[in-house]
Amino acid sequence: MGTPHIRAEKGEIAERILLPGDPLRAKYIAEKFLENPVLFNDVRGILGYTGTYKGIPVSTMGTGMGVPSISIYVNELIEQYGVKTLIRVGTCGAMQREISIKDVIIASGCATDSGLHNNVFTGDFAALADFEMLNKAYELSTGRGMKTFVGPMLTSDMFYGEKSWGDERWAEYGILGGEMEGVALYTLAAKYKVRALTITTVSDSLFDKNEMTSEEREKSLNDMIELALDTVIEF
């Protein structure tokens, strides 16, 4: 049995999962960090693996880019495969001057320009991280000396968009960075009463024109993955 997008049997996916956007990053996580990783999905190239980390079963799978794509996978993982603890590990663009490339932003909540909440609420829904996971990730991150920011993230539909009214307001009101999936993960986690967190590394910034070397990219990615794994196994 599988779903339209994940060809796996129940039981092949662990209750805890790391969700990068990029399926090749899922492969990287599996091969570098998990013990005995087994591929459970390659439908549409969205590679998913299950292995163990420090002896505890953990899965990792790509989500694709954007709210619509991640929503498909997160719905199926929760409803069909019983996943209970989800940590998105991604990249983001920094929107505040004091945040630099390689810094970590953990999203305590997500603002959005997506219409996913249309017709669901009579008002603005605050899409929030699971507090206990957020707190644990923050403690682990600062404990190992990673420069870490906790605060609001903007989940946007358009990587290449048009300039529009209100663009500058997000940063004015303290939004730390922008990415493209967080609000969907948090909204679905709230609906299904599971735990979710979004941890990102800053890959680009409006203010920091530096670029990471490939070694820096890999190291900062490794630090974030380890942080996510050490957090996820606590829940």
Partner 1 sequence: MSTPHIRAEKGDIAKGVLLPGDPRRAKYIADNFLEDPVLFNDVRGMLGFTGMYKGKRLSVMGSGMGIPSASIYISELYKFFDVENIIRIGTCGSWIDNYGIGSVFLAQGCSTTSNINRKIFNGTFCPLADFSLLRTAYLKSIALGKKVKVGNMLSSDLFYPLADDPKFENWKKFGIMGVEMEGAGLYTAAMRFKKRALMICTVSDTKTDERDMTPEERETSLNDMIELALDTMWEFV
Q: Are 183 and 127 in contact (CB under 8 A)?
A: yes
Please, which residue, 8 or 180, has the CB nearer to partner 1?
180
Rounded to whole angstroms, the Cα distance separating 178 from 139 reads 23
Q: How far is the CB of 235 from partner 1 (least distance, A)?
A: 15
CA neighbor of 180 nearest in space, from 98, 43, 83, 88: 88
Rounded to whole angstroms, the Cα distance separating 227 from 89 reads 10
Please, which residue, 79 or 216, has the CB nearer to partner 1?
79
Tell me which amino acid residue 92 is: C
Q: How far is the CB of 66 from partner 1 (least distance, A)?
A: 15
* 204 catalytically annotated: yes
Please, which residue, 50 or 148, has the CB nearer to partner 1?
148
Query: 12-38: buried (b, 16+ CB within 10 Å) or exposed (e) per residue?
Result: bbbbbbbbbbbbebbbbbbeebbeebe
Q: How far is the CB of 166 from partner 1 (least distance, A)?
A: 4
Residue tagged active-site, from 22, 157, 204, 230 = 204
Which residues here bind partner 1, judged by CB under 8 A? 108-114, 117, 119-129, 131, 135, 138, 150-152, 164-167, 169-170, 172-174, 183, 187, 190-191, 193
DSSP state of 120: T
Rounded to whole angstroms, the Cα distance separating 202 from 212 reads 10
Please, which residue, 75 or 135, has the CB nearer to partner 1?
135
Q: How far is the CB of 9 from partner 1 (least distance, A)?
A: 30
Looking up tokens 């219409």, which residue turns up? 115
Assign residue 82 a region (left: φ > 0; alpha: ψ between -120 and 50; beta: otherwise). Answer: left
Q: How far is the CB of 158 from partner 1 (least distance, A)?
A: 11
Please, which residue, 73 or 138, has the CB nearer to partner 1?
138
* CA-to-CA dists, residue 220 to 37, 56, 81, 215, 225, angstroms: 22, 24, 31, 9, 9
The residues annotated with a catalytic role in the active site are: 204
